[in-house]
Amino acid sequence: MVAAAGAGRHSGSIPPATERPAMLLDILLHTPRWVFVVLAVLVVMGLRASRPQNASLRRCVGLPLALSAVSLAGTTSAFGTQPAALLAWALALGAGLTAMQRRIDTRGVRYTPATGLFALPGSWLPLALMMAIFAVKFAAGVVLAVHPQAREAAPFVLGVSAAYGLFSGLFLGRAMALWAVARRAARPALAA
């Protein structure tokens, strides 16, 4: 996600405090413009989700599925198909999915089977999760551009992979909870 900004300057050490602002500027200047476009799109989508809205089941499930695919792609593009990375991603995804399904409050959510639309209360959760996934991807890109050897460091590999999986699992858990609301709302319609 980020070009090799300042690679090799400090051979693995943290740069002196006087050089950090220049390094941050260097990172931002070497970040492709499309990364900022993606960030802007995610922010707009998250801000829209913060207001009450109507949304289809496809939209409510599609975005989390797409972001999960992006997070898995982030894991495999950064670390290949290292079994430990994939396992960390999958375990964290399962943990996040389970935790969110059990804890999310869907009392304010309404689903109308006739229209196939949810009436969703506003929530800041989608914005927070999208920003978290973006931040992990961006930070991992910076670290790997500056220190390519980090892709062999188990704590980094496992931490980044687990973070990708956890945030994706939380997002998917929310989608699964909404899907459960739709199924419950459709039952009376099927019985009639």
Q: Is 56 helix (H, G, I), strand (E, B) or coil?
A: strand
> Which helix or strand (DSSP H or E) is residue 187 part of?
helix 154-191
Query: pLDDT per residue over 113-171, tens digit each?
Result: 999 999 999 999 889 988 998 999 999 999 999 899 999 999 999 999 999 999 999 99
- Report how far Cα 24 is from the mean position of its chain's Cα atoms: 23
Query: pLDDT per residue over 41-88, tens digit each?
Result: 999 999 999 999 999 989 998 988 998 998 899 899 999 999 999 999
- Which amino acid does the sequence have at 32? P
pTM of the model: 0.79
C-alpha span between 158 and 163 (Å, rounded): 8
Contact between residue 2 and residue 30 where contact means Cβ atoms under 8 Å apart: yes
